[in-house]
A and B are shown apart, each in its own frame.
Chain A
């Protein structure tokens, strides 16, 4: 996909044909296009800075090449722990040592 994206697709088609450049009705448009392309940010894209605990978690497990299945494991462990502690609180502590009620 990257290889196909050559320079001609990035330049608006009206600029490519040189003889239309100077003509009066297009001068306004051309200056607008030039203004637009000047206002675009230049250089490499700024690196993303993770902030906060959720941002750091996202950067560690979700973004780009760091994406992995570990969040699923964390979710499973969280739900398991919560479910077991609820079960313990409501039921199991009344049956310690195998006692029936």
Chain B
């Protein structure tokens, strides 16, 4: 019965599939990195929503009292400003505020757009997200080395360590420092992948349950309500993960800037 609606989906992983819409061919260079794909399309949508929808359209014609839309922008500005100020603090926090704000607003918008059905999750693409987190980590490390020179390595020895324990602790701290590069991106990506997969698998199960007969169709609303609850949880995760990403980015920057 429900197959008439063309709701057939091959595999739960199909939602992450990238397709090429517009490819460029040259006999001399490999231009596949420039081809317009699903990823580029949704990157463009996120760009238009952030720049156009959230910033250009909401200005309320330069009035001193913003509209309700601009209040949301001010609320996000204040939240991230206070977070960066609290996390980084000191003399330099202002320099890194636009960076952290950009990450926050990008991940926030990309996550929320990916919650629309038949949409595409930008932040579920491990390669992109982990590259981003690795570059943040690398940039923070270079900043620390540039600012402090060799004293930067005192980051790996917690204060008040007995001398005998120092080699072991340096090893552990070094490991945990290197793990940051991957864990920052993996945390976001794995959460988004798991959420989308869970919703699609459960939705497929309920769909096949409800299409058996009319009795099952009526009783199928009970698991559907549970899926609705999980959907609300996924919205919360989408918002929380963007905040977690920006809070961790600022805490890594603080470690590099001030060493403990």
Contact = CB atoms under 8 A, between A and B. Distances in A.
State yes or no: do A and B touch (Cβ within 8 Å).
yes
Interface of A: 48, 54, 57-58, 62-68, 71, 75-76, 79-80, 83-84, 86-88, 90-93, 95-98
Contacts of A58: 57
A67 B6 contact: no
Interface stretch (B112-120, B136-144, B153-161, B236-244): B112-120
The residue among B3, B8, B9, B14 with the most chain A CB atoms within 10 A of its own CB is: B8
Contacts, number: 68
Contacts of A88: 6
A84 B38 CA distance: 13
A76 B116 contact: yes
| Interface range, B side | 20 to 34
B69 A80 contact: no
Contact of B118 (A80, A95, A96): A80
Nearest to B64: A1
A67 B67 contact: yes
Contact of A84 (B8, B67, B118): B118
B19 interface: yes
Interface of B: 3-4, 6-10, 14, 19, 38, 45, 49, 53, 57-58, 60-61, 63, 67-69, 113, 116-120
A62 B67 contact: yes
Contact of A83 (B3, B9, B60, B120): B120
Given A63-B60, A84-B117, A98-B8, 16 more contacts: A62-B58, A66-B67, A67-B60, A67-B68, A68-B68, A71-B53, A71-B57, A80-B118, A80-B119, A83-B116, A83-B119, A86-B38, A88-B6, A91-B14, A97-B4, A98-B4
Nearest to B53: A71
B3 A97 contact: yes
Given A83-B118, A98-B3, A67 B69 contact: yes
28 contacts: A48-B61, A54-B57, A57-B57, A62-B57, A64-B60, A64-B63, A65-B67, A67-B60, A67-B67, A71-B53, A75-B49, A75-B53, A76-B116, A80-B116, A80-B117, A80-B118, A80-B119, A83-B118, A84-B117, A86-B19, A86-B38, A86-B118, A87-B118, A91-B14, A92-B8, A95-B3, A97-B4, A98-B8
Contact of A91 (B10, B58, B68, B113): B10
Contacts of A48: 61
